Structures are given as C-alpha cells and as structure tokens.
C-alpha cells in the first residue's frame, strides 16, 4: 500500500483496508458486519455460505477510509479457511458469543490462524451478544484476560443494540491509517 502521493484521479477513498471477521458459527459475525454497514440489526441475514464482502466508507482523521469487510461462514467448523481469505488483512475481528462458552474457548485457535496468515494484523476480540445479560456464561474479566493473552484489544459488543460495533471497526481503520503513514506503534 502506498500513501504518498495522494491519488490525483477522482476517487471516493484515500485508502482501502481489508478487515476479516472470524469466529465460530452463530456468534454474530454477519450481524456485526450488517450492523456496521447498514446501521441496523436484522434477523433476516441468512447463514453465510462462503465469503461475503461488504464495503463501508468511514472518515478517520479527515481521511476517507474504505473498509472492505470479509464476512465468512460455512467453513467455521473446519477452522481452516483458505489463505486467500486472510491475505492482506490489516485487522481482524475475533468474535465469540458471551452466552456460548465454547466459542470463547475456541478463540486462541482463530487467533493463531490470523497470526499465521495475516501476520501483523490488529486483532479486536469481540465478546458479542452482551444484550443477553441473563444468559451470559463468559465474564467481562475473562474477556479482558483473553484480549491480553492473544495480544488484541478487547471489546464487548452487541449487534442487536449496536454497542461498540462502530468502535470495533473504527479502531482497525485508525490502526490501518497509522500503519500506512508509518506511525503505527502496534
């Protein structure tokens, strides 16, 4: 990726970043992506088969950042996605469901995949479905510990009520912008 010179040709973005969304089936990967891209929650999303790619334009530091979000599905149970899926990603959402302990326990496996195939990508650990407070089986402290263990930033999210969804993607956009400018400290 190059930053200087800025593109002179008419274009709607200054920079494009690839973000991948990984985690066990049904943790809310498609719902988080949909919430971020459309600003709404819908039960109408079909189980993802293969990879869907969504695009959203955000402004960070006055720059127009195009975020390409690769939402995967169907292959989750193999935990071994094709390398092309990870390649070139600047950041990854590693999603678990706070009401599903197994999805939390499986996070290190997802993290290893990201480290192996998208080396240097920023990892955002998302404990999703926090709106389901009375069904919770993973505590906030455990999530914080997992974030430290995996070298990622931990956030608790809800695709349903929108909590921290914008933050999760924006942190990656900021990181990507800093990295392209050679200022990343990560």
Q: With respect to ligand G3D, which residue has the nearer C-beta, 60 or 95?
A: 95
Residue 24: closest CA among 93, 117, 120, 118: 93
Q: With respect to Mg ion, which residue has the nearer C-beta, 73 or 176?
A: 73
Residue 103: closest CA among 143, 70, 158: 143
- Interaction between residue 159 and ligand G3D (CB under 6 A): yes
Q: Work out whether the CA dihedral 38, 158, 63, 20 comes out positive or negative.
A: negative
Report the alpha-carbon distance of residue 88 to residue 108 in Å, rounded. Answer: 20
Among 13, 16, 26, 68, binds ligand G3D (CB under 6 A): 26
- Interaction between residue 73 and Mg ion (CB under 5 A): yes
Q: How far is the CB of 182 from Mg ion (least distance, A)?
A: 35
- Interaction between residue 48 and Mg ion (CB under 5 A): yes
- Interaction between residue 31 and ligand G3D (CB under 6 A): yes
Report the alpha-carbon distance of residue 80 to residue 106 in Å, rounded. Answer: 13
- Interaction between residue 23 and Mg ion (CB under 5 A): no
- Interaction between residue 103 and ligand G3D (CB under 6 A): no
Cis status, amide bond into 28, omega within 30 of 0:
no
Binding site for ligand G3D (CB under 6 A): 25-31, 43, 45, 47-48, 73, 128-129, 131-132, 158-160
């Amino acid at each position: 990726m190059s930053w200087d010179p800025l593109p002179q040709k008419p274009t709607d973005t200054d920079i494009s970043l690839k973000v991948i969304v990984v985690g066990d089936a049904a943790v809310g990967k498609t719902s988080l992506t949909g919430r971020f891209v459309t600003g709404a929650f819908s039960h109408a999303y079909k189980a993802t088969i293969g990879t869907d790619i969504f695009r959203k334009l955000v402004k960070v530091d006055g720059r127009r950042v195009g975020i390409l979000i690769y939402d995967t599905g169907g292959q989750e149970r193999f935990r071994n996605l094709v390398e092309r899926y990870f390649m070139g990603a600047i950041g990854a959402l590693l999603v678990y469901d706070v009401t599903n302990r197994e999805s939390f326990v499986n996070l290190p496996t997802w993290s290893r995949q990201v480290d192996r195939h998208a080396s240097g990508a920023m990892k955002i650990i998302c404990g999703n479905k926090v709106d389901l407070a009375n069904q919770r089986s993973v505590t906030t402290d455990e999530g914080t510990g997992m974030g430290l263990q995996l070298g990622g930033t931990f956030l608790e999210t809800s695709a349903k009520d929108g909590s921290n969804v914008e933050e999760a993607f924006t942190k990656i956009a900021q990181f990507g912008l800093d990295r392209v400018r050679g200022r990343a400290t990560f």
